Amino acid sequence: MKILVFTLAFTCVSGLFGATVSLTNLDASNNGGYAIRGAGAASADFVTTAAGYKGVMGRFTITDSAITTAFSSGDMAAINTGFSAFGSTFVIDNLVDGVFSTSQSADTKAPSAFGSATIYTVFFKGASLASATELLIAKLDAAFPTDPDIGGALSSDVFFRPSGGSGISSIVVGGNGSNFDFAGGSGSQITYQLSLVGAVPEPSRAMLAGLGLMGLVIRRRRK
């Protein structure tokens, strides 16, 4: 009977385990934010839930280069397959348009693969990541906490803002938008922008010039 009671008690306590990760793109003073824009957006045109934008934290089982290759070819199925969500999707305008704060929880105790895995933040437009038409992926300078076998749940704070102190390590997909000042005293801040899925970058002037010279050389040789 004692063994049964102990087993039931341990099962109940271990079932309470689960790491909580809090994420925001507010600045350190909470007077402004590193807002998020949709693809092609300008001025103060930041993303909203009503426009179909959402965010999610998680881990990737494919490399950053594989992510960018899949994105460039519009292969969202590969990106979706290589991604595991931590918690659920969240709104990215619960503070003001393009600025958010969220807390997500999931089990990170072994054999969960989340414990100590690098945290990625994914922002997309669409009903799901697999069907997204716009995308922004950032790798954070932080990892998911690992729940202990016995003890309380863990929590950590991470930030979608320029590198330093659990901030952005690199932008894997997407880029920077025009700076913006929320007039809260923090001044002009960097913004981040989603990119269109499968968009082919316009050729640079140098590339066009090179192609022109190559054409001239070919024409001369034919003559």
In a domain, 127, yes or no: yes
Query: How would you classify the pairing of strands 155-159 and 19-24?
Result: parallel
Q: To the nearest whole percent, how much of the chain has pLDDT over 70? A: 78
What's the confidence (pLDDT) of residue 77? 97
Q: Give the range among 44-48, 63-67, 128-132, 142-146 with minimum mean pLDDT.
A: 44-48
In a domain, 4, yes or no: no
Q: Residue range 23-44: average pLDDT?
A: 89
Cα–Cα distance measured from residue 151 to residue 154, given in angstroms and rounded to the nearest whole number = 9
In a domain, 55, yes or no: yes
In a domain, 142, yes or no: yes
Render pLDDT for 173-212 as a digit per residue (tens, 0 to 9). Answer: 999 988 999 998 889 999 999 999 986 544 544 444 454 5
Q: Residue range 2-12: average pLDDT?
A: 33
Range of the domain at 137: 17-222
Give the H/E segment covering residue 126.
Answer: none
Structure tokens at 32: 């402004």
Structure tokens at 140: 């954070």
What's the confidence (pLDDT) of residue 67? 98
Place of tokens 């300078």: 141
- The alpha carbon torsion through 53, 106, 143, 138 (nearest 10 deg) reads -10
Cα–Cα distance measured from residue 16 to residue 185, given in angstroms and rounded to the nearest whole number = 41
Q: How far is CA 15 from CA 86, 104, 108, 131, in A?
A: 17, 17, 12, 34
Q: Residue range 72-77: average pLDDT?
A: 96
In a domain, 88, yes or no: yes
Of residues 223 and 28, more confidently modeled: 28
In a domain, 39, yes or no: yes
Place of tokens 């949709």: 38
110 backbone dihedrals φ, ψ, rounded to 5°: -50, 135
What's the confidence (pLDDT) of residue 163? 78
Q: How far apart are the first and last CA of the chain?
A: 98
Give the H/E segment covering residue 90.
Answer: strand 83-90
In a domain, 9, yes or no: no
What's the confidence (pLDDT) of residue 212? 53
Q: How does residue 45 score in pLDDT terms, banded at 50, 70 and 90?
A: confident
Query: How would you classify the pairing of strands 118-125 and 134-143?
Result: antiparallel
If 0-12 CB within 10 Å is exposed, 13-18 middle and 19+ buried, where does residue 48 land?
A: middle
Q: Residue range 159-170: average pLDDT?
A: 90
In a domain, 109, yes or no: yes
How many distinct structural domains can be found in the chain?
A: 1
